[in-house]
A and B are shown apart, each in its own frame.
Chain A
């Protein structure tokens, strides 16, 4: 099945810094989503982005499907950005409805 690798696994930032999180996947995808799991365990959908670029406030994401990667950019980070960021993909021909989640990038933003 499709493999999803996220990097870095852990990231510590000072408030105000920028960061880039990466998601590599091993096969063609028709679905890619980024999620933020906050320290209270809530999973928030950030982007549905099987291809192209999207922006939402301080966050933006780019997926280059032909090269099998996606990037999540966080600018001017805030302490509330702390948590785990997951990339999840759905592959062509994969089990219908099954988004495969990466292991996540754990982000800690220090004040």
Chain B
């Protein structure tokens, strides 16, 4: 049974470039979460979708960040334009019953913006 699949595993880009991170949910899961992990701030929720609908995007840092779920099993997180302070590990997670069920994380994308 495949877990949450994220791509790419590593991304190095220059300031000002567009970055797109991808996530495939576990089959049968209906909730999708994007988290960011940094040494300074730990794990922070960026946005939460339930049944493809964004429920809480209060953690999205600013307008440079956008997230979509074009279908029930796939999501993208886009940063445009990227800045060095966006460097972090970005995790996608899914659950089968929204907020109150176990969260399963992908392996993360390590983003470095130079």
Interface residues of A (CB under 8 A from B): 30-31, 33, 35, 41-45, 48, 50, 86, 88, 90, 95-99, 101, 103-104
Contact = CB atoms under 8 A, between A and B. Distances in A.
Contacts of A90: 99-100
Contact of B56 (A31, A98, A101): A98
Interface of B: 31, 33, 42-43, 45, 48, 50, 55-56, 58-59, 89, 91, 93, 98-105, 107-108, 110
A96 B56 contact: yes
B107 A96 contact: no
Given A97-B55, A97-B56, A98-B56, A31 B107 contact: no
B99 A96 contact: yes
Contacts of B59: 98
